[in-house]
Chain A
Amino acid sequence: DAGVIQSPRHEVTEMGQEVTLRCKPISGHNSLFWYRQTMMRGLELLIYFNNNVPIDDSGMPEDRFSAKMPNASFSTLKIQPSEPRDSAVYFCASSPWLAGGIGEQFFGPGTRLTVL
């Protein structure tokens, strides 16, 4: 299995531009998570999906952030408009359903976003 795939790996953009981050989870996993990692705030959960349905988006910082999962094999995280404080590494993770428990989360390599 190729693991969780994220694209792009690096993104440099200017303030005000729209940014779209993409994620392909591991086939057969039914949960997908978007995280943001910064030095100041550590690893934060932004939103997660279960069976393509958003379950908890309380970590999404502002309305400028949106996420979709149109099918089981693809998700996007969009920032519009982007701001310098959005600069971070964004991780996508997926996990299988585990009866009565919590499945291991498998992380992608991350997208390093720099907003100038």
Chain B
Amino acid sequence: AQSVTQPDIHITVSEGASLELRCNYSYGATPYLFWYVQSPGQGLQLLLKYFSGDTLVQGIKGFEAEFKRSQSSFNLRKPSVHWSDAAEYFCAVGILTGGGNKLTFGTGTQLKVEL
């Protein structure tokens, strides 16, 4: 069965510093990978996704992620963090099933930004 591991529960960075959130997945076939962000009291919003092709994908809000098959990783990065980036970040792997598709989410990484 597929699974997603986000090893960092909490991360604190200073505003303007770079950010990398780690994500490792387990899935037997080529994965569909996603990063979502959740602000307090809100639903999840898609930041970016990887299906195939270029392993470096660009997303909204200046985020990017790199798919590394050899490491089973899909880490999220941002070169300069803004205070408004404080939120919870979820990595997810999607699978196609007989009748549709579904996502398995990691446990999330809570990002705190210090001013």
Contacts and interface: CB of A to CB of B under 8 A. Distances in A.
A-B interaction: yes
Interface of A: 4, 31, 33, 42-43, 45, 48, 50, 53, 55-56, 91, 93, 95, 101-110
A109 B43 contact: yes
B80 to A, nearest CB: 26
A interface SS class = strand
A111 B99 CA distance: 27
A104 B49 contact: yes
Most buried by A among B90, B103, B105: B103
Given A31-B100, A45-B103, A107-B44, 10 more contacts: A31-B101, A33-B102, A42-B106, A42-B108, A53-B99, A56-B102, A91-B43, A101-B32, A103-B101, A105-B46
A1 B104 CA distance: 27
Interface residues of B, number: 27
Contacts, number: 62
A109 B49 CA distance: 21
Contacts of A91: 43-44
Contact of A48 (B36, B51, B100): B100
Interface of B: 32, 34, 36, 41-46, 49, 51, 90, 94-108
Contacts of B46: 104-106
Nearest to A108: B43
Contacts of B94: 102
A4 B99 contact: no
A29 B36 CA distance: 19
Most buried by B among A53, A102, A105: A102
Nearest to B52: A101
Contacts of A31: 100-101
Contacts of B103: 33, 45, 102, 105
Nearest to A59: B102
